[in-house]
Structure 1
C-alpha cells in the first residue's frame, strides 16, 4: 500500500514545440484540478529540442488524471508513463545538492556551499516550496531586480505574489533596505519555509519598514494584502494563465509610475497574451530578459495624462 505521503508522477515525452503548446493549453483551462501539478522542461541540456511534460499527483492517478494530461496535446497525445515516487517531498528532493547560482548581483546557494562575500548572498535550503534560484525564471527575476535598482528605480512598498521560498522578496529588501515587504503564496506550507529562510538570511518578520509580512492568499484576494497597498513594486513569478487573470487586480494595486516584475511565462504566445493583458491594465514594457525559453518582463504603470 502506498504511503499517505507518496507522490505519483506522470510523464509525456514530446518535441519542445508540442510540450510548449500543451503548457499553453493548460493555462487556458479555468477548472483544472489543482492537485495535478504540471511543468515542462527539456530532457537534458545537450538535448534542447527533447522535452517532457510532467505531472505530479498525491494519489495513484486514474483514467481521469491521465485523460486530463493527454487532453493538453493537440491530436494524438504521446504515451503517458506513471511512476510512484518515494514517500518524500519531490520538490525538496529535486533541490538537494543543487549547485550555487549567480544571477546578476546575487549568489544563491544551499547550506552545503559557502557564501560569496563579493555578492549579495542568500542561503536557501532545499524545501517544500519553489524558488531556490535554480529555475531560469527565478534567476532571471534576480537579474532584473538588480537592473531595476541600477536604473534608478526607488521602491518603498513591495509585494511578492507567489513567493515560494521568499527569495525574490528578500532580494528586493537587500536592494531597497527600508521597504515595507509583503510576501504571499497560496500554499500554507510556505509560511514555515519563508520564516525559516528569513531567519537564515537575517530578514526580520514584521510589519514595519525593512521587515517582511507573510500572507497566505489566492492572488490579490486578501484584505491585509489590499490594505497594505498600493505597491510601487509588485513581483509575480507564477504562471502565464494566472498572470493574465490577475492583470486587472495588478492595475489596481500598482499606482501610476509604479513597477511590475513578471515571470513564469514562456516566450512566444504566453508572453504575448500576458503583455496584452497588462497593456489593458495600464502597463507598458520597460525592459525584457529571456533566459532559455522563459521571458522576464519589467513593466511600468502608465502615468495619468493631464
Structure 2
C-alpha cells in the first residue's frame, strides 16, 4: 500500500547566532506546538543557522513573525507541502550505489545485486543516509581504501549513524569485531535497528541513542580501531577531543558531512587532537577525510 502523507506546512528562517537559533527553536516548540522543530548549521559555509518547524495545519504567521523579530531572525518563509507518496518517490529517485566492493540498494532493486559484492539493503521508506549522498558514498570509498591497504579488523563505531549503512558495511566485512551505531535522534536509532535486522546483522551491531560517545556501550567497547562520523563541520570539530579519547593508537577515523572549503578547519582540529591526515577524497561538493591516531 502506498504511504501517502497528507498536506503539511513548513516554516523556515535563518539567523547568524547559534544560541539565538537554539532559543528560537525552543520558543517555537513551546508556543506553537509544531509536529517537529529542527535547528541546523547551514552547510554552505555562510555561518548561518537554519530554524525550521513542521505543522500539520497552516501555522499562525503573525505568531511566527513575532518570534522571528524577538530573536533577530529573518522573516519565516511558510510553504505548503502537497500530499506525497514518499515511498514511490524514493523508489523513482534512488538507484543502487556502488562504492568499491559495496552495493547499496533498496528492496525494489533486489534483482540487481551483482555477484560477489557486499550488499547493503536500505528500505525505501528509510532512505536517509542510504549512500546516495556524496558524503556517505565517500565514507564507503574511504573504507574500501583502508581495506585494500590491508587494515586489520578491530572495534568499530559509527557516530551519527542515520540508517547505519556504514556500521553495516563494517560488520559485513569484519565478522568478528564489535560494531556500534549511535545517533542523537531516537527515530534514527529505530531506523538503524530495522535496517540491521533487514540485513541479517541482528546481534552483530549495537544501535544506541547517544550524543557523540556519551553512552556506556561506547565506553565499554573503546578504544575503537575505526570510527565513522558523517555529520557536520561544527559537531565534528567539537567531537575531536572525545573522538581522540575513544580511538585506538594507530586507529583510523573516517569523517564526512563536509563541504570542500570546510575540510581544512576539520583537519586542523583533528591534528591538534592527535591525528594525522591519511587521505582526502572529494566527490563533487563534498570532502571525506581519513585520519590516523598518532
Q: Is TM-score (shorter-chain normalized) higher than 0.5?
A: yes
User: Does the 8 Å contact 1:149/1:175 carry over to 2?
Assistant: no
In terms of mean alpha carbon deviation, does 61-70 or 168-177 score higher?
61-70
Change (3 A) 1:128 1:40: farther
**Given the superposition, is the C-alpha separation of residues 63 and 221 from structure 1 closer, same or farther in structure 2, using an over 3 Å criterion?**
farther
Alpha-carbon shift at residue 128 of structure 1 (Å): 5.0
Contact 2:11-2:76 within 8 A present in 1 as well:
no
Bigger drift between 284-293 and 104-113 goes to 104-113
Cα distance between partner residues in 2 of 1:226 and 1:89: 41
Counterparts of 2:234 and 2:41, CA distance in 1: 13
Trace 1:256-267 onto structure 2 (pairs within 5 A): 256-267=249-260
Q: 1:182 to 1:258 in 2, by over 3 A?
A: same
Counterpart in the other structure of 2:115: 117
Q: Residue 99 of structure 2 is aligned with which of 95, 103, 123?
A: 103
Residue 281 (structure 2) aligns with: 289
1:1-306 pair list within 5 angstroms = 6=8, 8=10, 10=12, 29=18, 32-33=21-22, 35-38=37-40, 56-59=52-55, 60=59, 62-63=64-65, 81-86=77-82, 95-97=90-92, 98-113=94-109, 114=111, 115-127=113-125, 130-205=128-203, 211-268=204-261, 270-302=262-294
Structure 1 gaps of 5+ residues are 12-21, 43-52, 72-76, 206-210
Distance 1:275 1:103 in 2: 24
Query: How many aligned residue pairs are there?
Result: 264
Secondary structure of 2:241's match?
helix
- Per-residue displacement from partner, 1:95-141 (whole Å, max 9, x unpaired)? 34311111221111111112222421111012456211111000111
Does the 8 A contact of 1:5 with 1:58 survive in 2? no
SS in 2 for 1:204: coil
CA distance in 2, matches of 1:228, 1:120: 25
**Alpha-carbon deviations, 1:3-56, whole Å to 9, x = none?**
999451548xxxxxxxxxx9xx97x835643632558799xxxxxxxxxx9864
Q: Give ranges in structure 2 of 5+ residues lacking alignment.
A: 26-36
CA pair 198-54 structure 1, distance change in 2 beyond 3 A? same
Structure 2-normalised TM-score?
0.78
Say what the alpha-carbon RMSD is for the aligned residues. 3.3
